[in-house]
Structure 1
Amino acid sequence: MPDLASSIHYLSLMALPFLLAVTLHEAGHAFAAYYLGDKSQVAEGRLSLNPLNHIDPFGTVVIPIVAVLANLPFLIGYAKPVMIDPRPFQKLRRDLVLVAIAGPLGNVVVALFCAYMVRFALMFGAGPESWIVNTMVFGIYINCLFMVFNLLPIPPLDGAGIVEQFLPYEAAQKYRSIAPFGFMILMGVIILAPSVIMVPSSMMFGLIAYLVGVPV
């Protein structure tokens, strides 16, 4: 277990990128659902980039702190899930896929933003060990990680929501029934096979850094 000072330093670097990651992820779902006809996001206050509208006290605060103190391979957590009303959707399966994929795409947007912040900070004289550079580098990585993590085909993650739309009705019902065990399955993956998440996350990190021109 890392010492307390190291944990606090790590949290100070990760807090802002993590908050951006979970906020833009859920906002991505909300904006996609709204665009496709689900106006309930307005009444619920989720059609917003304000982190306060998306924070879940347990998932956004408690779990990330526990993950750091427990020295897990990477930071985990979540914001309040956006509840979707699919009744206004014109093409149900297509639109559910679009809403599901919008969350991970929100993380790609934040990763690109963080990459440009690193590039501009270095251009204007910030050192590679400065807080802004380190925080934004973490921001690239954690958003790549969130994208990969949420695309895992394990209910109730977004990846499972996408896969489900391509299954016959009965198969989709059985697939969805795994959801109550999803957390245990995810913890098993995190503890026993973290490379399933970390390898593609690192590849995505490298791709974004290359495209933006970040020397990391």
Structure 2
Amino acid sequence: MTPAATRSDRRISPVFLGIAAVTAVAGWAVWTGFADSTGFAVFLFVTGAWIVSLCLHEYAHARTALHGGDLSVGAKGYLTLNPLKYTHALLSIVLPVLFVIMGGIGLPGGAVYIERGRIHGRWKHSLISAAGPLTNVAFAVVCTAPFWLDALDGVPRAFQYALAFLAMLQVTAAILNFLPIPGLDGYGVIEPWLSYRIRRQVEPIAPFGLIAVFALLWVPEVNVVFFDAVHALLRGLGVEEFQRYCGYDLYRFWRSWFGEEDPGCAVD
């Protein structure tokens, strides 16, 4: 591979830069309350930031794989942060965004395709799988920094709410991704340490892992336990439940179109 090709494989995609630019402009609109369009601005800001985090999640998998020995990730375009290059663009981007819109849940998406045969060493395989959800953890820490640093003075309330909701998405994504369920990154972390027989038995059900998680979250008892854990973690990071709720309420700017009651989340 020539140096020019290598540079091209790792150049940040204009698609990603465009998403990041929209996110930044929307964040500015939320901060300033531009044109009295706070709800729509929160929607664009949170959705854009969520897509950015998904791209970084997949990039972390690919970058770690590159250093682990899989040089093919560059040719596949994974190092450009372009969501259109992912093997499962529907699972990696579209479905996670739909789940946010429908239920305010940061459901993990599909991973990039790593040629595992090129990588030697169980620790390397585990680290490649862990790199993605660790990116969500880092994103959550950044989003909650103003809360646990007690640095909210001067931060507009709408922006606080948006950050709180975005932080909740990152925490839910990290927890779900780390579950040791076939098809999710958590299973990828432990898989190299399992026997060959167990791996072969699990392999046929791996594609259904994400569906199983989604189904389990519809079980009331499971849903309560899961969100109790999410709320406890966020409270530990200084984010209160009403802030997250108000962030989700602002995100759903279309609720008034259907006559839903205004919960009274003041942003002035």
Structure 1 residues 138, 17: CA separation in 2 closer, same or farther (over 3 Å shift)?
farther
Structure 1 residues 197, 166: CA separation in 2 closer, same or farther (over 3 Å shift)?
farther
Question: For 2:178, which of 140, 145, 151 is the aligned residue?
Answer: 151
What letter corresponds to residue 200 of structure 1 in structure 2?
A
Q: Distance in 1 between matches of 2:104 and 2:166?
A: 16
Deviation at residue 121 of structure 1 after TM alignment: 7.4
Question: For 1:87, which of 117, 141, 145 is the aligned residue?
Answer: 117
Question: For 1:33, which of 65, 71, 85 is the aligned residue?
Answer: 65
How many aligned residue pairs are there? 201
2:168 is equivalent to residue 135 of structure 1: no
* Alpha-carbon contact 2:168-2:234 (below 8 Å) kept: yes
Deviation at residue 13 of structure 1 after TM alignment: 5.4
Structure 1 residues 86, 76: CA separation in 2 closer, same or farther (over 3 Å shift)?
closer
Structure 1 residues 11, 46: CA separation in 2 closer, same or farther (over 3 Å shift)?
same
Instruction: State TM-score, norm by structure 1.
Output: 0.76
2:105 is equivalent to residue 74 of structure 1: yes
2:50 is equivalent to residue 18 of structure 1: yes
Deviation at residue 51 of structure 1 after TM alignment: 5.0
2:67 is equivalent to residue 45 of structure 1: no
What letter corresponds to residue 82 of structure 1 in structure 2?
V
Deviation string, structure 1 residues 2-55 (Cα, Å, up to 9, x no partner):
xxxxx9687445313321331121111011111112111111111134555558
Instruction: State TM-score, norm by structure 2.
Output: 0.63
- 1:61 matched to which residue of 2? 94
What letter corresponds to residue 171 of structure 1 in structure 2?
I
Deviation at residue 154 of structure 1 after TM alignment: 1.5
Q: Which runs of 5+ in 1 are unaligned?
A: 1-6
* Alpha-carbon contact 1:24-1:110 (below 8 Å) kept: no
* Alpha-carbon contact 1:14-1:139 (below 8 Å) kept: yes
Q: Distance in 2 between matches of 1:67 and 1:156?
A: 20
Deviation at residue 81 of structure 1 after TM alignment: 2.4
Deviation string, structure 1 residues 30-85 (Cα, Å, up to 9, x no partner):
1111111211111111113455555825652356336634xx3624362x621111
Structure 1 residues 117, 26: CA separation in 2 closer, same or farther (over 3 Å shift)?
farther
- 1:4 matched to which residue of 2? none
* Bigger radius of gyration: 2
Structure 1 residues 16, 174: CA separation in 2 closer, same or farther (over 3 Å shift)?
same
Indicate the SS of the match to 1:47: helix
What letter corresponds to residue 101 of structure 1 in structure 2?
A
Indicate the SS of the match to 1:152: coil
Deviation at residue 159 of structure 1 after TM alignment: 1.0
* Alpha-carbon contact 2:61-2:112 (below 8 Å) kept: yes
Question: For 1:103, which of 113, 123, 132 is the aligned residue?
Answer: 132
RMSD: 3.3
Structure 1 residues 39, 50: CA separation in 2 closer, same or farther (over 3 Å shift)?
same
Deviation at residue 151 of structure 1 after TM alignment: 1.0
Q: Distance in 2 between matches of 1:53 and 1:180?
A: 20
Structure 1 residues 47, 166: CA separation in 2 closer, same or farther (over 3 Å shift)?
same
Indicate the SS of the match to 1:154: coil
What letter corresponds to residue 166 of structure 2 in structure 1?
G
- 1:184 matched to which residue of 2? 211
- 2:19 matched to which residue of 1? none
Structure with the larger helix share: 2
- 1:173 matched to which residue of 2? 200
Q: Distance in 2 between matches of 1:58 and 1:99?
A: 19
Structure 1 residues 159, 77: CA separation in 2 closer, same or farther (over 3 Å shift)?
closer
Deviation at residue 105 of structure 1 after TM alignment: 0.6
